[in-house]
Amino acid sequence: MFEIEIRGLVKRLGGRTILRGIELTIEQGETLAVLGPSGSGKSTLLRCINALTPFDAGQIRVGDIVLRPGKVPRDVAIQVRRQLGMVFQDFALFPHLRAIDNVALGPRLVLGLTKEQARHRAVQLLQRVGLQHRAEAFPAQLSGGEKQRVAIARALAMEPKGLLCDEITSALDPELKWEVLSVLADLKKDGLTMVVVTHEVGFARRVADRLCILSDGQILEVGPPQQVLENPKTARVQQFLARVLT
């Protein structure tokens, strides 16, 4: 049973407290959308889960791997990252590698696949995000939407059990967002566990199983999208949603 369990997570940075005791469980196959104003700690939450940044108190469990406060030992970090793929707002593709090699690099170096096996897997994944015809293109030759889909394929190539998406459509023009979001919708159908930090309320309503509103390092509300969006319990959530929805 693969789930992500977060208990009493506290993260401080330079005298500021970014996360103030987060309690959250993401179940296997669930898609959780995280909404919140900028600076609310959404990205930091993802980075803590993926061991990209250490935290100060609490505990995170990813499958059977447990992260504790303080510097994460390298082997533990690598184990966590093997289970979780991550997609970034600014794509972070490797600009010196063709699309296919961006996807094949991880399997080759980390999973120990041969070059042929890795490229074979890369082609399949590019197909899955609808980009098999762009396999030989360099990142600089791809549109924003295409770049982000390559980045998703790159994360999937490690065969993760979960996927962390950090505002992956924020850097895209509106007409390109749908192509990335529809890829996520497909992945949900395949049963991938996902934590999606986003500003796309429409996407959250249609695709997410649950919606989590984060503000000032605290969870204000968690629940089914319908319920949270239409009957928010607190005034702060109402205010935030009013701003986002208009």
Partner 1 sequence: MDTGERLSPRARYGMLGFVVLTTPFLLTLGNPALGQSPTPSAPSDSGSGLPPLRWGADAEGGAPYIFYDPERPEQLIGFEVDLIRALERELGRRIEHQQYDFKKLVDGLERGDIDLAMNGLEITPDRQKRVRFSRPYYVFKLQLVTREGETEINSLRDCVEKQARVGTLENTAASRLLEQLRVPTFLYDSQVTPFEDLALGRLDAVLMDVPIVLYHGRNKPGLRLVEPLVSGRGYYAIAFRKDDEELARQFDVALERLLASGELRRIYETWGLWNASQEELYPPNQFGLELAREHTAPQSLEGWSFGSYFPLLLRAVWLTVELTVLSMAVAVVIGLIIAVCRLYGPYPLQLLALCYVEFFRGIPVLLLLYFLYFGLPAIGQVFGWDMALRWSPFVTAVLGLGLNYAAYEAEIYRAAISSIPRAQWEAAASLGLTPTQTFRYVILPQAIRIILPPSTTDFVALFKDTSLAGTITVVELSKQYQILSTSGADYRALVEIGVATALLYLLMAVPLGYLSRRLEERWHAGHLAEGRH
Residues engaged in binding partner 1 (CB under 8 A): 50, 52, 74, 77-78, 81-82, 84-86, 88, 90-96, 105-106, 109-110, 138-141, 151, 154-155, 158
DSSP character string of 34-78: EE--TTSSHHHHHHHHTTSS--SEEEEEETTEEE-SSSPPHHHHH
Task: Report in angstroms how near the CB of residue 188 gets to partner 1 at its nearest.
Answer: 20
Task: Specify the residue, 50 or 215, whose C-beta has the smaller distance to partner 1.
Answer: 50
Backbone phi, then psi, for 94, in 5-degree steps? Answer: -85, 110
For partner 1, the closer CB: 73 or 202 = 73
Nearer to partner 1, 95 or 202 (CB): 95
SS3 218: strand
Minimum CB separation of residue 215 from partner 1 in Å reads 25
CA distance 148 to 152: 6
The nearer residue to partner 1, 158 or 237, going by C-beta atoms, is 158
Q: Are 23 and 219 in contact (CB under 8 A)?
A: yes
Which residue's entry shows tokens 């997410």? 208
CB of 158 to partner 1, least distance (A): 6
Shortest gap between Cβ of 239 and partner 1 (angstroms)?
A: 32
